[in-house]
Structures are given as C-alpha cells and as structure tokens.
Structure 1
Amino acid sequence: MEDFTAFVFWPSAPLTDRLVHDALNSLIPPPSVIDSLPKPAPGRLLQWATYDALDHELTFSHGPQSKVLSSSYVIRKALIRKHFLSRCIRNYLTKRPESVLSRGVPKTWEFELSFADELDELWSDELYDLSEEIDKGDPSIWWILKPGMADRGMGLRLFHTKEDLEAIFQEFEQDSDSELEDEEASDERRRDTSVVTSQLRHFVIQEYLAKPLLLDPAEVPLNGAIKPAVRDLHGHKFHLRVYCVASRAIKVYMYDRILALFSAVPYTSPSKQGGDAEAVGELDLAAHLTNTSLQQERGEEGVRLLDELIGCHILSAPHSAPRRQPPRPHRAMGVAMDPETMQAARRQQAERAEQTQYTTLTAEDIENLKHQVSEVLAETFKAAVEMSVHFQPLPNAFELYGIDFVVTHGDSGQLQVNLLEVNSEPAIELTGPRLTWILEDLFKAIAKTCVEPFFSKESAPVGNWKVGETNQNLRLSLDMQVRGAQGW
C-alpha cells in the first residue's frame, strides 16, 4: 500500500473519532492523519469525516492527477430519508413484485403536510388507499406516523383512526406554539419525542407490525445479575441494528455482529393498551419504541448481541408442547415420600411444565434472520440505485449505515425481518462500553476492505469475494457495477 494522507474530523462523535484513528493505525504503513484540509489538498487523500466536513468537490475531482477516497456518498437521500426510501422501494416493487422487499417492508404511505387541517384533502388524494384501510375499522390494525427527516425516535406516534391522526398533528402544532413561547424547556424536550410540525413537512405512515418477536433480555444477564426463572420472564419488543458498509459503485457488506435493542418495558399491544377512555396521544410508547437514544438513562441494559440471544425463550408464541410424564424421584418400592421430597418433586414438575410452554431461539433461527437481512439489504440498495437522482454511488467513496429491522411472526409462524429505516452516521456511542469491541473490529474491517485496496499499488478491490461469503465479519450482500466499468 502506498503512502496517503487521512483527513479525520468527528467533533461531535469522540468514539467514532477514536475508532477511525485506531482503524487507520492498523494499516501497514499507517497514513499521516490531519484534522483540517490544507489548500491545496494532498494528491493521495482519504476523507474519513462527518458528512458536513467533507470536501465534496474533492470527491468529484478524483482523477489521474489525484486520488481521493471519501467516507460518504455525496447524494444518498433515497436511502436515508424515510419518504424517499418509501418511494424508491414502491417504484422498485412496481417493476419487481417478486422481490423480498414485498414481504420485508411494512406497508408505507408518504405525504407532505404543514398543518392538521390539510388532512381532509390528503384523505382523498395521497392517502386515499390508507383511508380505505382505516375505514374498515379493524380493531387489531394500528398505524405509526414517522417524520421523514427526523431521527432517534423523534415524532413517532401510534394511531388507530383518522381522528387520532388529526389529534396528533394538533398536538404537534401546540408543541410548536409552546416552543415559541418558552425556550427554557429544551432539556426535557430533548428526552421526549416531540417535533415541531412547521419544521417538518414530509411524513410517512406505516402499518404497525402487530406480531413482533418478543424476548426477555434478562435471559442474558449483565453485571452479575441472576438469570430469572421462566415464570418470571416478560416479553420485550426489540429491533435489530445492522451495520452495513457500502463501498464504491457498488458493493454492500453486512456486518454480521448484529445488535438487538430492547424496549424499556414489557410489550403490550396498542389495542389492549389504549382503551376508549384513553387518548391516543397518552399511549405509553415505552413498550413500542426501542431506540437507545430515548433510553439513555438505562445505559447498556437493553443492548444485546443477536448471537447472545440463542436459547432465549420466545415469549410471543407460546404453544402447548406434548408433555411427558416427569420421572418420579428415586425411592425404594413401598417407601413413602417425605413432605420435603414431595414439594421438591412438584417444583421440578412445575419448572418442566414452564419450560415446555415456549420454544427457544436457535442458532438456525439466528442464521436465518441474518440471511434475510442480507437479502433485504441487497434489494434495498438495488432499489436506491434505480432512483439515480437521489442515490449516486461513486467508485471513490464508501459509507457506514446503521439499518434497523424488526422481527415479526409471519402468518405461518416463521420469523420475518422487516426493514424500518436507514441511518447515516449512526449513533454508535449508544452501543455502550460492553460491546465497543464489535465497533473496533467493524472500523478495522472497513479500513481493510474499503481503504487499503483503494490505495494499494494495484488499486484493485478486495480479491475473489463472492456474494454470501464472509470475511472479517463482513458478509458480501451485493456486488453490482453501476454506470459502466468504472462506475462513473
């Protein structure tokens, strides 16, 4: 590998800054690192920095006289904006209805709105199909509202009727008025999920996934805690945080150390939680929102590796397994059991009965989920590539994304992953100290896979790596050529 200079700048993300430095130091030879770009810029330059600090003109100026690699694609709204993502997937499915995205993405509608009184017109226009669905009045079907450009759980709301949705937007308008009147409540506001509608025009509505896989993270105890008995378990909703690396034009890698991020309280379906007397705006979202940014006071309590969950009881799908008669305690024929032995035998029998009420998550289940995630990632990036106005992969760029999935039970009982959103510059610091090592390995893998080949004398991509194969815990999910042999 030839010498190059690395511009590294993460002023608001000290953990990312350290991980990037460590990853670059693992290269042989390590590059010279700078924290500001000189004029003129070095001829052989890596920009591994926050998006706003990158010199995008340098990215586009890559040519024979200069060699510039940047840590972000310049144009990628088709992925990271919820309303654009919804649109590009819908367009893709129109042409390819057999794609895994047809079952791997919730029903979604996108729309623009500034004030609640605009909803009446939307019901007969962009939201006409949704209007018909809601008017069916199925008590088990709920919907979730998401601002198109908000992140970290901001603005997420559950609703069941058109009146509920109107009330939510009226609430947002009141929040906007209150914010103008009182600037001093900002600290508390940062911890809730409020948004200001006047600052958010784009929204999506998704069908709320009503059959989430429920586990109890307490079955993987932390800090010396005792693993609870089965009878003391409570089903918690969780989502998968998948780190994905897109490189050049274009390869997509899935980091196979996937995180499971759990809600703070046990799950209760919204249909049971929200009675007639309770306003939808008063629904406790703690059972439904799994964003770690909304649970910072919990620290690492709700964070597990997906692989750590092997053997956990699936609390969302109890079944009556055939129960075999438990063996009787060993004793001589004709000898009566004393009361203590009898009680112990009954306790053992009760524990065995509890164990047979639930299946457990197996290694095969985990591998199946990873395979599904990899397939959905590949199709999602294919869909984005086809929306070329809003996603333009470049041969001299790479980018790390945090992609969220929720796991549900399908109609036939199988586990199904569902894509929720794609996040650029993911908040990796919320992973917590216990699992920081997976981030260290991830960033070193990025340096080895995306950076080192670019600056090698041969300037060749990583060798014979086939789709589906894993190296350095990166599984190649997609390998396609965009816009000609050189990707321009």
Structure 2
Amino acid sequence: MAAPDSDSTDNKIYALINYEDPYVQPLILSALEKRLPNSSYSLISSISRLPSPSSRLLQWVQYESIDFDHLMEQSSSSLANAYIIRKALIRKHYLSTTIANWITKYPDSVLKKHVKPSVEFEVDYAEFLDDALVEAWELKESWGRNESLREGDGEGDGKEKREWWILKPGMSERGQGIRLFSSEEELVGIFEEWDPESDDEDEEDARSDAGANSSLSIGEQRKDEKEKEEGNGIITSQLRHFIAQPYIHPPLLLTPPSTSTPSPSSPSPLRKFHIRTYVLATSALQVYVYRPMLALFAARPYVPPWDDVLQTDRDEAMRAHLTNTCLQESGDREGSVGLFWDLPSSLPSQPDLGSVKLESKPDWKDKVFSQIKETTGATFEAAARGMSIHFQPLPNSFEIFGLDFMVGIEEDGGLNTYLLEVNAFPDFRQTGSELSGMIEGLFEGVVNRAVVPFFGVEGEGGEREDGMVKVLDIDLGRR
C-alpha cells in the first residue's frame, strides 16, 4: 500500500485491527464502520505501514501484540486497547489486597458490603500447607466453629450448618481449580489431589497408558492425549497463590433461559448463575458499565455445598456450582447464557432458606444493577488510588474488562450483589451467535466513548444512546 500524500493524512486515523478471534474481529470492524466516518480512518496491516511515526494510530489487538514502545513514544497520537499494568484488578490475590487495603482506609466503602473478604496464602505442595496457613486466622476460627458443630450435633456432622469456603487459584483462568471446603482436612485433601506424582508413579502410569492405548487407533490416541492436555488438571507449584472466601449462601437461583415454562405440577429445577458485566475503562480515568449484561448459568441444578455428592463425585458436584460456561460441554452450554434484563421480574421460591422469606419485588433487577454500578466504580477507584503501582491507567489507552457478580440472599430476605472477579480480555464468544448484537453494541459504545474523544473526530450518527453508563470520572493527573 503506497503511503498517501501528507496533506490528506494529517487527520486520518490508521487503524490496526487484529483481535485474532473470528467472532470478535468482524464486530470491531462493524463498530468502527458505524461510529466513524469512512473518510476519517484507514485500516493497516502493521505499524510499519504508517506514513510517519507521529501519524494517528489506533491499535485494537491482543495484549501481547500491542506495540507499547510506540504507544509510549507517541502518546499524543497513539491509542491502544489495553493498559500496560492492571494486576491490581485482574489477579485474584492482587484484587483481594486492593479491596482489603481500601476498606481499611475507608471502612464505609460500598466494597465492604459487596465483596467477600479473602484469606490469601502461598503454597507449593500440600506438605507445606500448615506453614502457609500460619496467619490464616479467619480460616482457623471458622474450622473451630465448624468442629464444635460437628461435636455438638447428635444427628450427623452438622454439615448444613457449617461455614463453607471457596478456594480460588490467584492466577488461574476459566474457572480452573475452584473447590469448596469446610474443614482443614478437606483443604489438605484438595492440595494432595493436585500434588505431582512421584517418578515411580509416572513410570507406572506411562506403562499403564501405553497398554490401554495399544488397542486405540492413532486418531483415537491423539484425541485422548488432547483431552488430557485440555483438562482441568492443576499443579499447585505452578499456581502458588491462592485465596479463600466465604461461600455465598444461599445464592439466588433461577431457571436457565433454555428451560421451557414450567408447569405448577412439574417445576423446573433452579440453577446457580452469575452476571457478566462488561466495563470500559478509558484514559486516566473514566469507567463505564455497559447496561446490557449476561446471565450465565451452571450446567446442573443447584445442590448445597454440604450435599454428599460433593464428597463422592467432586467434578460432577462442581458442575452445579461453577457458572463459568467455558467449563461446560457444548450440550450443557446451549441455553446456559441469557440476557440479564430478560430474567423474570417475579422471583421463584428458593430452597434452603429456612425461616428467611425472599423479598420478590418487580424492581429487583434495577436494584442489582445499581449495586453493580456502585461496586464497579469503587473497585476501579480503589485500584487506581490505592494500588497505583499495580494499576496504571494511561491517557492514551482504554480497555474492556469482564466483571463477574453473584446475587446472594440476605438474612432479611433482601438481595445483595457480590463482585467475584475482574477479567481482562474477556471471552466474548460465550455470548454466542444469537446475542452477538449485544457485543457489537458494546464495541460501538467503546468507539463512541474512547476512540472518538481521543482523536477528536465527529462520531457517525451524532449523539445517541449507546448503553454506556459512567460510574467513575477521576483525574489521576496523568497527561
């Protein structure tokens, strides 16, 4: 491509769009086409095709492909779709520290109500777990209370009255390694399950696998090997950082969108779900919540954490607790994703509430959304102001995050929304082809709020509703 003459390129935006995802790429291109005048930008295949280093450049690519040197050197003319440093948000153990520090400084922060406190620890092997938990007072006190329940309950072990915890590897993704536990023995068992096998065991397994595979075709053997590689195997020493949080119980349960309308005589089983909220952070620093949100359902009907199936078949039991659709088989995933605002306004009666009476109010979704907005704004401010080493917004960057929230039922019957985690470069494909318009609308909002203002162009179509709700606008003094 020949470089155009300088007179025609002074104000042109050169857009390097290579998201490396066939689902996302056309949606970004469509959003640019709808929100930018055709004459205002030109697509290029690499930065080397820029007429000059100072030409206006938009990079919308995978994180590893961003030319951060060019971004920093040409800060007034170059815009990229990710911040360089944002560990304070996207790593679970960093996020835990971010929240804890902010709440200590600001005890009245909304984060105290909408984020479960975490216990952080590092461990390489199960045999070192005792040392790792020396200062985990919250866990030890909880185990003590649970043990007293077991000793004082004449009927069974009192599992349903225990305090349950959820274990999350600090740097894992896609729901990998999440487990439930209520005692030290159960936690030790989880780590022993992850400990690497000895050399002798490896050799024995290799011989066993060789014998088992001898009757398989080459294609079947390769498929078997691929399934093992893509499995959810965990090696503790590779993860190292962990957090444990009180399990949200009881969670609000609903019927997945794929389930047909139940009859009074045959009600559909209720399932656990979480809300995926897309958030745009731009410059230094404005934060927007995209009003259209997803409801992602677990693959199996809900069972409480103390159900016996958790002890007899952990993997199957976790399918009722994990709402991350990337862990589900293709058949389970169908119908597990719906639009949040399409959820029923009338809430069904919930199991395991005891004497608690759920407040089923038609505006419950509005209240949940209000809590999501407050929590999102406070989380990003806590990271930007309280953990500035690990979250550094740049005035010439923007980024889309996927925030996960879960709705729990309080003792008074009200609903409370909890932040679970913050994801960088979220998996948009889980939305599916039927809801791709929602993601295209998200990208249009991103162009409108991040790209158009930075380059000072007039957005195509003028002012119009884009679903972006501003929840934070602070000046961090970065120019």
* Same fold by TM-score greater than 0.5: yes
What per-residue deviation string (whole Å, max 9, x for no partner) do you get for residues 402-437 of structure 1?
110110011211111100000000001011111111
Match of 1:292 in 2: 325
> Match of 2:12, as an amino acid?
D
Q: Output the CA distance in 1 between the equivalents of 2:416 and 2:167.
A: 22
Match of 1:59 in 2: 71
Equivalent pairs: percent with the same residue? Answer: 37
Q: What does 1:277-356 correspond to in 2, within 5 Å?
A: 278=311, 281=314, 284-297=317-330, 298-316=332-350
Alignment partner of 2:455: what SS?
coil
Q: Output the CA distance in 1 between the equivalents of 2:440 and 2:316.
A: 39
Match of 1:21 in 2: 29
Please, which of 72, 76, 79 is the counterpart of residue 89 of structure 2?
Answer: 79
Please, which of 21, 26, 44 is the counterpart of residue 56 of structure 2?
Answer: 44
Alignment partner of 2:176: what SS?
coil
Contact 2:166–2:181 at 8 Å: present in 1 too? Answer: yes
Please, which of 268, 271, 293 is the counterpart of residue 303 of structure 2?
Answer: 268
> Match of 1:207, as an amino acid?
P
The answer to whether 1:196 aligns with 2:235 is yes
The answer to whether 1:6 aligns with 2:6 is no
> Match of 1:47, as an amino acid?
Q
> Match of 2:173, as an amino acid?
D
Distance 1:445 1:367, change over 3 A: same
Match of 2:294 in 1: 259
Instruction: For residue 189 of structure 1, report the CA deviation from its aligned partner.
Output: 3.9
> Match of 2:248, as an amino acid?
L
The answer to whether 1:92 aligns with 2:102 is yes
Match of 2:387 in 1: 387
What per-residue deviation string (whole Å, max 9, x for no partner) do you get for residues 19-44 of structure 1?
11111112113521123221764521
Aligned length: 429
Distance 1:131 1:18, change over 3 A: same
- Once the two structures are overlaid, the 10-residue window that deviates more, 136-145 or 288-297, is 136-145
> Match of 2:179, as an amino acid?
R
Alignment partner of 2:446: what SS?
helix
- Once the two structures are overlaid, the 10-residue window that deviates more, 307-316 or 233-242, is 307-316
Please, which of 170, 184, 191 is the counterpart of residue 162 of structure 1?
Answer: 184
Q: Output the CA distance in 1 between the equivalents of 2:364 and 2:190.
A: 38
What per-residue deviation string (whole Å, max 9, x for no partner) do you get for residues 329-362 of structure 1?
xxxxxxxxxxxxxxxxxxxxxxxxxxxx987562
Alignment partner of 1:245: what SS?
strand
The answer to whether 1:108 aligns with 2:118 is yes
What per-residue deviation string (whole Å, max 9, x for no partner) do you get for residues 425-476 of structure 1?
00010111111110011101111111011111699xx99xxxxxx9411111
Q: What does 1:398-437 correspond to in 2, within 5 Å?
A: 398-437=398-437
Contact 1:154–1:192 at 8 Å: present in 2 too? Answer: no
Distance 1:284 1:243, change over 3 A: same
Please, which of 463, 466, 471 is the counterpart of residue 477 of structure 1?
Answer: 471
Q: Output the CA distance in 2 between the equivalents of 1:78 and 1:318.
A: 36
Alignment partner of 1:79: what SS?
helix
User: RMSD of aligned C-alpha atoms?
Assistant: 2.8
Distance 1:164 1:280, change over 3 A: farther
Q: Output the CA distance in 2 between the equivalents of 1:267 and 1:407.
A: 14
Distance 1:318 1:211, change over 3 A: closer
> Match of 1:91, as an amino acid?
N
Match of 1:371 in 2: 370
Match of 1:329 in 2: none
Gaps of 5+ in 2: 1-9, 150-158, 210-221
